[in-house]
């Protein structure tokens, strides 16, 4: 029996191990964390015939010719480089799912910001058309989970990070969507060009490529490379000339190639960026042949995305909004731009490199005060002081931030307390979802 080694015990790694086992492989599933699983989970995996090694750092082994890597594992660590040098096949979990599901059409959605909302909205529209089209990848299911289901999906709608694309060399979607590009993950990819090249590779392998024409980087760098691309613009057909948008806003309607599809106001989400996400999702639906009535139904009933400008509660006229998914400066700037001023901003966490100028300018325009948490607090305090912004406080923890935010919102007559961290979460939480859930629990326990 052939043996495979899966690195990482998150949901992607576990799904990959189970899929390989179903395909007849002998599977070792390892994680360098000594206790990533509850004892009953570990026992269940071992009962399924999957060998689990905890507190184990992978080293290449000729007995395992296939190595499958979870998205969070860096693609260029020495052990994986050594495995490739030794002739072992190293792939990501999404690539494994593609090999099992390439007979189904895929929508592959990537971008620095906007991809989660676009993915969730696209899946909602496809479901409104009666299709089995679950969201997977960075949201929803692990991609390999879909391959494990007894009935294969009609469409695979996948949010794909640069990490997943990098580790999926043959993944070729029917539809490829690219929402935005700004500097992110540079600690892994080193340069913006490397980061962009990885994302572009997905679109190059896609049958149809759709780009957000309102994104400055994409508009400047993509047209020559993708002469047959489909473009979108919330500013109308003339705004991105000489490009010709296929999907655009005109007279309050989303239009696809001149045909009105759905009123723009049908999407119950704030912010111009969400109108851009709407155009991307409608493009995918139209290219997939979905009827405009189903598109309108999917858009109008879409509830939004957890942790992305998610309204938690209103207390004494103050809205508490969870934007925990804003893990970089650009996403946090969009979040602050989208809420009413004056706002109390909660920011901080595990800091990332990036250009913070537009974010700092937006703070000066819209924030009554900034409450700083996590490892980034001293750094953010310095940057705020450097640009002459005075009303900030280092409160360190989410508990203190929520309590203090409510106090200041009352005294400063702020309309919003906004968690929009501009940081990863790994200093205090395992992921941005846990950070957002903590904010939610605190708000609901204190203000409802």
pLDDT of amino acid 7: 96
Neighbours of 235 (CB within 10 A): 15
Query: In this structure, is residue 418 part of a structural domain?
Result: yes
Q: pLDDT tier at 36 (50, 70, 90 boundaries)?
A: low
Q: Measured between alpha carbons, how far apart are the two ends of the chain, in Å?
A: 57
Q: What is the CATH number of the domain that holds 195?
A: 3.40.1190.10
What is the spatial distance between Cα 126 and Cα 124, in angstroms, rounded to a whole number? 5
Percent of the chain topping pLDDT 70: 97
Dump strand ranges (E) for 32-134: 50-54, 66-69, 89-92, 106-110
Q: Can you state the angle between helices 377-386 and 357-366, rounded to 10 degrees?
A: 80
What is the spatial distance between Cα 67 and Cα 60, in angstroms, rounded to a whole number? 9
Query: In this structure, is residue 339 part of a structural domain?
Result: yes
pLDDT tens string 317-355: 999 999 999 999 989 999 999 899 999 999 999 998 889
- From residue 11, alpha-carbon distances to 58, 139, 424 in Å are 18, 11, 19
- From residue 200, alpha-carbon distances to 136, 192, 277, 290, 396 in Å are 20, 12, 19, 26, 39
303 pLDDT above the threshold of 90: no
35 pLDDT above the threshold of 80: no
- From residue 33, alpha-carbon distances to 40, 75, 140, 429 in Å are 17, 18, 24, 15
Q: What is the CATH number of the domain that holds 74?
A: 3.40.50.720
pLDDT of amino acid 74: 85
Residues 336 and 276 in one domain: no
CA dihedral 330, 335, 337, 339 (to 10 degrees): 180
Query: In this structure, is residue 43 part of a structural domain?
Result: yes
400 pLDDT above the threshold of 70: yes
Residues 145 and 207 in one domain: yes
Query: In this structure, is residue 432 part of a structural domain?
Result: yes
pLDDT of amino acid 430: 85
Neighbours of 314 (CB within 10 A): 13
Contact 169, 89 (CB under 8 A): no
pLDDT of amino acid 169: 96
Of 300, 318, 339, which residue constitutes the final position of a domain?
Answer: 300
188 pLDDT above the threshold of 60: no
- Which comes out higher in pLDDT, residue 164 or 305? 164
Residues 276 and 315 in one domain: no
Q: pLDDT tier at 312 (50, 70, 90 boundaries)?
A: very high
Contact 243, 212 (CB under 8 A): no
Residues 144 and 268 in one domain: yes
Residues 100 and 79 in one domain: no
- For the residues 378-384, what does the mean pLDDT come to? 98
Residues 140 and 267 in one domain: yes
- From residue 251, alpha-carbon distances to 169, 216, 278 in Å are 42, 24, 16
- For the residues 97-123, what does the mean pLDDT come to? 96
Of 269, 300, 331, which residue constitutes the final position of a domain?
Answer: 300
What is the spatial distance between Cα 322 and Cα 421, in angstroms, rounded to a whole number? 10
What is the spatial distance between Cα 152 and Cα 302, in angstroms, rounded to a whole number? 24
Residues 127 and 80 in one domain: no
pLDDT of amino acid 305: 85
* Parallel/antiparallel/unpaired status of strands 259-263 and 253-256: antiparallel
Residues 106 and 130 in one domain: yes
Closest residue by Cα to residue 162 from 74, 88, 97? 74
At residue 439, the 3 state secondary structure works out as helix
- My answer on whether omega of the bond before 242 falls inside 30° of 0, hence cis, is yes
Residues 325 and 204 in one domain: no
Neighbours of 379 (CB within 10 A): 14
User: CB under 8 Å to 279, separation ≥6 — which residues?
Assistant: 212, 232, 233, 234, 247, 248, 249, 254
Q: What is the CATH number of the domain that holds 338?
A: 3.90.190.20
Contact 42, 52 (CB under 8 A): yes
pLDDT tens string 239-286: 888 888 999 999 999 999 999 999 999 998 877 889 999 999 999 999
Q: Which residues pair with 137 in a beta bridge?
A: 159
Query: In this structure, is residue 224 part of a structural domain?
Result: yes
Closest residue by Cα to residue 158 from 96, 215, 217? 96
| Ordered DSSP codes for 116-147 | HHHHHHHHHHHHHTT----EEETSSB-HHHHH
Q: How many domains does the chain have?
A: 3
pLDDT of amino acid 270: 77
Give the domain range for residue 66: 3-87
Query: In this structure, is residue 200 part of a structural domain?
Result: yes
Query: In this structure, is residue 263 part of a structural domain?
Result: yes
Structure tokens at 266: 């049908």
Residues 72 and 120 in one domain: no
Residues 442 and 327 in one domain: yes
Of 87, 117, 140, which residue constitutes the final position of a domain?
Answer: 87
- For the residues 154-180, what does the mean pLDDT come to? 96
Percent of the chain topping pLDDT 90: 80
Residues 102 and 41 in one domain: no
Query: In this structure, is residue 305 part of a structural domain?
Result: no
């Amino acid at each position: 029996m052939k043996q495979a080694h899966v690195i990482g015990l998150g949901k992607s790694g576990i799904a990959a191990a189970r899929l390989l086992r179903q395909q007849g492989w002998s599977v070792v599933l390892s994680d360098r964390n000594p206790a990533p699983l509850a004892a009953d989970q570990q026992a269940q995996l071992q009962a399924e015939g999957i060998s689990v090694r905890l507190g184990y750092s992978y080293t290449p082994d000729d007995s395992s010719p296939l190595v499958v890597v979870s998205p969070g594992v860096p693609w260029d660590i020495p052990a994986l480089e050594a495995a490739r040098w030794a002739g072992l096949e190293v792939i990501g979990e999404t690539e494994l799912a593609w090999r099992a599901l390439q007979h189904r059409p895929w929508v592959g959605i990537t971008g620095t910001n906007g991809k989660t909302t676009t993915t969730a909205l696209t899946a909602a529209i496809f479901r409104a058309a009666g299709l089995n089209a679950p969201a997977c990848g960075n949201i929803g299911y692990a991609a390999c989970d879909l391959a494990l289901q007894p009935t294969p999906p009609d469409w695979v709608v996948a949010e794909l990070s640069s990490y997943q694309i990098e580790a999926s060399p043959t993944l070729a979607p029917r539809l490829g969507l690219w929402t935005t590009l700004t500097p992110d993950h540079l600690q892994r990819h080193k340069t913006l060009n490397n980061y962009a090249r990885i994302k572009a590779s997905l679109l190059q392998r896609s049958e149809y490529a759709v780009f957000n024409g309102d994104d400055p980087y994409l508009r400047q760098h993509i047209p020559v490379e993708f002469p047959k691309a489909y473009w979108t613009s919330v500013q109308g057909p003339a705004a991105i000339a000489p490009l010709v948008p296929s999907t655009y806003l005109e007279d309050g309607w989303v239009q696809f190639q001149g045909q009105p599809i759905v009123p723009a106001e049908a999407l119950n989400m704030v912010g111009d960026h969400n109108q851009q996400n709407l155009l991307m999702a409608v493009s995918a639906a139209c290219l997939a042949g979905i009827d405009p009535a189903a598109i309108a139904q999917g858009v109008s009933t879409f509830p939004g995305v957890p942790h992305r400008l998610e309204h938690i509660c209103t207390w004494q006229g103050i809205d508490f909004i969870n934007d925990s998914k804003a893990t970089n400066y650009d996403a946090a700037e969009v979040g602050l731009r989208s809420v009413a001023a004056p706002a109390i901003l909660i920011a901080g966490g595990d800091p990332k490199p990036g250009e913070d100028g537009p974010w700092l300018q937006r703070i000066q325009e819209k924030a009554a005060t900034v409450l700083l948490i996590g490892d980034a607090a001293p750094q953010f305090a310095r940057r705020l002081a450097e640009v002459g912004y005075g009303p900030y406080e280092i409160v360190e923890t989410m508990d203190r931030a929520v309590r203090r935010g409510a106090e200041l919102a009352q005294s400063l007559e702020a309309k919003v307390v906004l968690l929009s961290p501009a940081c990863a979460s790994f200093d205090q939480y395992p992921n941005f979802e846990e950070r957002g859930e903590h904010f939610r629990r605190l708000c609901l326990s204190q203000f409802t």
